[in-house]
Amino acid sequence: MTAQLPLHMTPLATRLGLRPCYGDIHNHCDLSYGHGRFADALARAALQLDFLSITGHAHWPDMPVDVPEVAHIVDFHVKGFARLRDGWSAHYDALAAADGPGFTVFPGYEIHSCEHGDYTIVYRDIDGAPLHLADSPAELKAVLQATMPGRALAFPHHIGYRQGARGINWDTFDPGLSPFVEMNSMHGTAETSESARGYLHSMGPVDGRSTMAHGLAEGHVFGIVGNTDHHSAFPGSYGHGRMCVYAASAARGPLWDAMMARRTNALTGANIHLLTAIGDRIQGAIVPPADDAALDIEAIAGGAIDSIDVIRNGRLVSRISPALTPAPISDAGDTILFLEMGWGARGSAHDWTGEISVEGGEVTALEPRFRGTEVVSPLEGADTGFALPSATLSDCTARFRVMAQANPNNSTTATQGIALRLTLGDDAVIRATLCGQDITLPAARLRAGSVSGNLGPIDSPAWLFHPLPDPADWQWQGRLPLGALTAGETIYVRLRQADGQMAWASPIYCRDGVQ
């Protein structure tokens, strides 16, 4: 369960009766092929998400069974499919036990396809419904509508691979089956042909005709989401992808209705609040043409904002930099303290324990930014077996424990993190204890820049307190004039933090015949 933003920081969302809810509905564990226990995946997700679906690998109708070069891939898929079938009925008991107020769990599985692209299927209810397998999106839609109308959806994931190599096939995409597509995950980002988060998996690079931009140019209507597609029992693994849903609450019914209405965002990691609206219709909505329209934007980031971009009909039409045009939502002394832990000698790992408190201020919320192990294929290694992480906030003190592996190379981070929302006075002091090391930091020092240290000599595990951002750095609100809005147009917004974390809001569509 995530910490809600206070009402004074979300005036637009509050006016519309909505709140951001954060989840991951595409990730893996030993439920099929994948590493890590199913029970551990449920427990880890509850630390940092509002909702969850754990995905089993279920079916691959056009699997290349006659190609000797990929026989090893066929083998672990066949075994994973069998494992899921054997455990599917029983897994509902674990889902029901994990589900509860503030943490909603949905059943889910996926179907691979070279021809049509891979699809994740999510059921609304934990009622024991069986696996429904099909060889195409059309057949899948028919069986789901016949057996559980309105209670199942399916969405293409890692869409950016070329069509024919398990990337999206826009010709067979059906918005009646799929309210959204998964545009970002551990595979990378498929917004456009070029991205700072390119596809690096052995399945290949991004193809321009498999991107979000191409789907919009063809006139398709869809929302966008991010999920981790993590394969080591760590849903919501920081930096691999998450999704945001705008709903009245994090209960099953409101979440499901919001997903079906495309009120979704794609995130890379931080729980960013990025709400866009034309009138009372937010991202994912279809609006009628208008002679004079305006776009409202409300943004609360997880750190300093670098830019907020408005993309209209595939072209960048506005770039907002809070450094140049500040427009904070609240100036109540709120800030974000982000602690990262890790580093150390290559190939090592360290068990971090710690607590953080504030003198002359208050800790108002805690957001774990925990990562899972970087393992995808069953052929890449075994589960680490690390103990489950923990993070709590009580009596204005954050306490946590997490295992952090050293960074595997100089360009891939494996750090673990804790983010705290604080309200600080002018003379506030932050006190931390990290693995027995006492640290005292005047807030004024962190406003001037980051502070780092090691637990021992050089090459030992290290910690980093990021700078404290001012409200104008990590919040922005405003109304942008759009002029005339004509049928066929699409508008969406993306946000990039200074540290590279990103969020994309689903597009708003203009179409004739809408009231």
How would residue 34 be classed by pLDDT, with cut points 50, 70 and 90?
confident
- Are 333 and 477 in contact by the 8 Å Cβ rule? The answer is no
C-alpha dihedral (114, 225, 41, 248), degrees to nearest 10: -140
pLDDT at 374: 76
How much is the pTM? 0.97
Instruction: Cite the beta strand spans of 235-388 per DSSP E.
Output: 242-247, 264-267, 273-278, 281-282, 286-287, 290-300, 305-312, 315-320, 334-343, 349-369
Helix axes 38-48, 71-98, angle to 10 degrees: 60
User: In the 3-class helix/strand/coil scheme, how is 438-450 assigned residue by residue?
Assistant: EEEEEHHHHHHCC
- Spell out the domains of the chain, with CATH numbers in brackets: 21-269 (3.20.20.140), 272-319+472-515 (2.60.40.10), 334-376+384-469 (no CATH)
Query: What tens digit of pLDDT does each residue of 226-278 get?
Result: 999 999 999 999 999 999 999 999 999 999 999 999 999 999 999 999 999 99
pLDDT at 338: 98
CA distance 331 to 342: 33
Instruction: Name every residue whose Cβ is closer than 8 Å to that of residue 513 and which is 6 or more positions away in sequence.
Output: 288
Residue 384, pLDDT above cutoff 80: no
Query: What tens digit of pLDDT does each residue of 71-110 get?
Result: 988 999 999 999 999 999 999 999 999 999 999 999 999 9
- Which amino acid is it at 311? I
How would residue 3 be classed by pLDDT, with cut points 50, 70 and 90?
confident
How would residue 376 be classed by pLDDT, with cut points 50, 70 and 90?
low
- Are 230 and 185 in contact by the 8 Å Cβ rule? The answer is no
What is the mean predicted confidence (pLDDT) over 311-332? 95
Structure tokens at 355: 């607590």
pLDDT at 382: 64
Question: Could you give the percent of the chain with pLDDT greater than 90?
Answer: 91
Query: What tens digit of pLDDT does each residue of 392-428 get?
Result: 999 999 999 999 999 999 989 999 999 999 999 989 9
H-helix or E-strand spanning residue 14:
helix 11-15
- Which amino acid is it at 330? S
Question: H helices then E strands: how many in the chain?
Answer: 8, 28
Nearest to 113 by CA among 71, 57, 153: 57
How would residue 378 be classed by pLDDT, with cut points 50, 70 and 90?
low
CA distance 24 to 47: 12
